Each structure stands twice: as C-alpha cells, then as structure tokens.
Amino acid sequence: MTLELLFQYLVAGITYGIIYAIVAIGFNIIYNTTGIINFAQGEFVMLGGMTAVTLNTFMPVPLAIVAAVLITMIIGALIEIIFIRWLDNPTVLRMIIITIGLSILIREVALHVWDEKVRALPYFSGTATSSISIKGVYISPQVLWVIGICTLIVIILNFFFSHTLLGRQMRACSSNRKAARLCGISVQNMVTLSFVLSAGIGALAGCIVSPITYIQYDSGTGLAIKGFTVAILGGLGNSMAAVAAGLILGVLESFSIWILPTAYKDAISISILLLILFVRPGGLFGSREALSLKEF
C-alpha cells in the first residue's frame, strides 16, 4: 500500500461522502419543517439527473442543469401540494407509507418516460480520461466540481437558514410549529418551500454526480438509503453534522473495498446504519441531554 494509493482512495471516499451529505441535507430540510422523512428524496436526485441529460440534447450543459433543477423543484412543490398539504395531522406510519408509495410511482413513471439504460451528463470540463495530478495523486476534474459545488451548497444553505428572514421562518417551524403559527408564519407554505428546496438540492446533486456515477431510473433508492444513513449518523435534522457524517461514511466505504468484495459495499454501510440506530439513535454528534428528551 503506497501513500499515493491511500490518498486516491481517500479522494474517492470524500467524493462519494459529500454526495451522500447533500442527499442527507435534503432529508433534513424536510424533516426539520414537517417532522417526516421523505422516502422519495432519492427520486429527486434521479429526476434531476435524468431531466438534465435529456435537456442536454438541445441545450448546453449549464442551462440544462438550471432547467432540470427548476423542473424538479416544481415537481417537489406539486407533490407536497397534491399529496401532503391537505392531510390533517397524519400519523408517522401513514406518512412513511405515502412517501414510499410516491417513490415507487416516480420511479415507475421514470421507467416509462425514459428506459432502463444508464445515462450521464458529459464531464463539465475535460473528458473522462483527463485528470489533474497533485503530487502523484490523480484526480478527475469532475471530482473537483462535485466537491466545489457541494461545498458552495452547504455554505449558501447555512447562510440562508441563519441570516435570511425566510430561512429563519423555516427554522421557527421546526422548533415549534404552534408558536411559529402564532407569530404569523404560514407553516403550510414553509412546508411547501422545504419540499421545493430539498427537491432542488437533490436535483442539483443528481446533475453534478451523473458524469461519475451514471444515473438510471432506479438509482434514487440506493442514494436515498445512503443519504438516510448519513442523516442518522449525523443526527436527524442537523445539516452541518450531516456533512461530517457523510465524509466519514464515504471514506469508510471506500476503504471497506480492501477487506470485502464490492458486492457487499452497500451491506456495510447499512450495517453501520443499523449499528448507529441500536447504539446511538441520536447520531454521533447529538448531545446526551437532548437525546434523553427525544423519542426514537
């Protein structure tokens, strides 16, 4: 094991980790305003990627990505308005089943709209074989794009939630819905907004990773499960911790290939999920005090 190879694995791990983190942030945004887990989150990622690939046939890549993100945001809003907005205080079990049903439906529609072929956007700069060498470690320029854009998303979101009125209103809904409503915040609109936002982030993630991972009608499920693992690992609802958790999972997964065949890669990350759920359901970074007040 040379040092270069070690770094190579590390970079691969970070790339995947940051993608998982973005999906996890999508989960967290909806969880924070509604208290539900959107099991169709992975489908937003798939829709974003697939739409961008189709649009790319008659428009340049940057434009196709922007359009795909907007379209997915609209779909996110429609889903919330049609299926969730009018439900009166639904139970968690009911919401889980509805979002699972939605994820199946979106996937099946995607299968009929597109087909089962894998697709990808072209590399944003350079080609699939071009690489940048940093002291003997070869990095594809797309990896830099992924890391760059994801870091940007995290920074912008952080700013949005802490410094803008809208972001603060959304946070108010998450900490206390009744109090937020009393202050004149439209909780329902905030919920719709959270769906729009998380659909948009998911779609963007789908676009930027598609050149590396490729995308097909059912790639959403796998990403959603990884994203959820990361969200739990960091503590549900905590977006900053999700980034750290994402990096941990990505790197662990990347190095796990040494020990076990790739076929079991998913089994490893899910075992980590189960272990965390059993031992520390509040996540790695949750405080003990806060945990004792919460139900899992």
Partner 1 sequence: MKRLRHLHIVYMALLIVGIQVVTSATDTAYFLTQLTMSAYYSLIIIGLSLVMGYAGQISIGHAGFFAIGGYLSAFLTTYNLLPYQETGIVAFLSNAGLLVFSQDIYGTDLLTVHPWCAFISAIILTTSIAYVIGRPVLKLKGHYLAMATLGFGIIIFRIVLGSSYFGEADGLSDVPGFPLIGGVEISGNMSARIVNYYIAWGLVIIGMVLLLNLVKSRVGRALRSIHGSEDAAKAMGVDAAKYKLHTFVLSAVFAAVAGVMLTHYNGGIGPSEASVMKSVRYVAIVAIGGMANLWGALIMGSVLNFLSLRGYFGSMDDAVFGSILIIIMLFAPQGILRKGILKDLRNKLTGNPEVKQS
Interacting residue ranges for partner 1, rule: CB under 8 A: 36-37, 83, 87-94, 96-98, 100-105, 107-109, 221, 225, 228, 232, 236, 261, 263-264, 266-267, 270-271, 273-274, 277-278, 281, 295-296
Q: Which is nearer to partner 1, 185 or 230 (CB)?
A: 230
Q: Are 196 and 76 in contact (CB under 8 A)?
A: yes
Q: How far is the CB of 67 from partner 1 (least distance, A)?
A: 26
Q: How far is the CB of 135 from partner 1 (least distance, A)?
A: 36
Q: Are 156 and 150 in contact (CB under 8 A)?
A: no
Q: How far is the CB of 104 from partner 1 (least distance, A)?
A: 3
Q: How far is the CB of 174 from partner 1 (least distance, A)?
A: 15
Q: Which is nearer to partner 1, 58 or 278 (CB)?
A: 278
Q: Which is nearer to partner 1, 88 or 289 (CB)?
A: 88
Q: Which is nearer to partner 1, 4 or 266 (CB)?
A: 266
Q: Which is nearer to partner 1, 37 or 147 (CB)?
A: 37
Q: How far is the CB of 114 from partner 1 (least distance, A)?
A: 14
Q: Are 165 and 235 in contact (CB under 8 A)?
A: no
Measured over the CA atoms of residue 284, residue 288, residue 293 and residue 296, the dihedral's sign is positive
Q: In terms of DSSP H, where are the helices of 164-264?
A: 165-175, 177-182, 187-213, 219-234, 239-259
Could you list the beta-strand ranges (E) of the chain: 132-134, 137-139
Long-range contacts of 160-168 (CB under 8 A, 24+ apart): 161/239, 166/193
Q: Which is nearer to partner 1, 85 or 177 (CB)?
A: 85
Sequence-separated (6 or more) residues with CB below 8 Å from residue 10? 251, 254
Q: How far is the CB of 65 from partner 1 (least distance, A)?
A: 28
Q: How far is the CB of 230 from partner 1 (least distance, A)?
A: 12
The structure tokens 């959603």 sit at 224
Q: Which is nearer to partner 1, 127 or 271 (CB)?
A: 271
Q: Minimal CA–CA distance to 154: which of 22, 244, 19?
A: 22
Sequence-separated (6 or more) residues with CB below 8 Å from residue 115? 217
